[in-house]
Amino acid sequence: MIAADYLKRIAAWSRELNEREIEVARAGIVEKSYRANEFIFMRGDAFDYWTGIVTGLARMGTVSSGGKAATFAGLTAGAWFGEGSVLKSEPRRYDMVALRDTRLALMDRATFFWLFENSVAFNRFLVRQLNERLGQFIGAVEHGRTLDATSRVARSIASLFNPILYPDMTRHLEITQEEIGALSGISRQNANQCLKRLEKEGLLRLEYGGVTIIELERLRNHGD
């Protein structure tokens, strides 16, 4: 069983629970590691866990029958996902791939539903989470259809700084240009060019192994 302090460190939602709820949550969570480029699950899989990113980076997306790939969201440490599939008891409707070595916290379905049925604080979190995720997906559809590559990169990066979906992020993001390209649906080379444009505009600073955000709001609204 994971420690209570450790749970609070990896799961911001647990910080609002009472002692009984924390004990139940601790007992229902295990951890599992995935290698870079390994599928965590694929569309159609029965993956009965509510899942948090402990360390690493994952991409949520799908591939059409014609082979066209679409990215829905990137998930960094602190993000929890999959509550919709657990609530509806349905197969996953998207693929989840680890973009780098990634460690997950997996809460079993029985524990999730105990919290859902007994914890007011947990339900408040779920409402906020589902509302933010819906807005994120609507934005992703709009951006993919209306924005150029540089603006898609800007907004893909900005989406990783949502204070509800990723509550413990700092302004420095450890991410490679290849990973940014994967999240934005473009090649590493194109991502490099777009990042240089954004740096020239004063919105971010390129650093070894990552980027530091300077103008978050301008990134969020790039291309408007």
pLDDT (tens digit, 9 = 90+) per residue, 58-96?
999 887 677 777 777 889 999 999 998 999 988 898 899
**In the predicted structure, residue 144 carries a pLDDT above the cut 60:** no
pLDDT at position 31 is 97
Tell me the mean pLDDT in the region 11-21.
96
**In the predicted structure, residue 185 carries a pLDDT above the cut 90:** no
Predicted TM-score of the model (pTM) = 0.81
| Band of pLDDT at residue 146, cut at 50, 70 and 90 | low
pLDDT at position 201 is 95
Tell me the mean pLDDT in the region 211-223.
92
pLDDT at position 192 is 93
More confidently predicted of 122 and 179: 122
Smallest CA-to-CA distance from 139 within 121, 165, 118 is with 165
pLDDT at position 141 is 61
pLDDT at position 165 is 87
Token pair recorded at residue 183: 């999240």
Give Cα 119 to chain centroid, integer Å. 24
SS3 labels along 168-224: CCCCEECCCHHHHHHHHCCCHHHHHHHHHHHHHCCCEEEECCEEEECCHHHHHCCCC
User: Which residues have C-beta within 8 Å of that of residue 68, sequence separation ≥ 6?
Assistant: none
CB-based contact 113:83 (threshold 8 Å): no
| Band of pLDDT at residue 145, cut at 50, 70 and 90 | low
Tell me the mean pLDDT in the region 167-186.
85
Tens digit of each residue's pLDDT (9 = 90 or more) over 31-51: 999 999 999 999 999 889 999
**In the predicted structure, residue 142 carries a pLDDT above the cut 80:** no
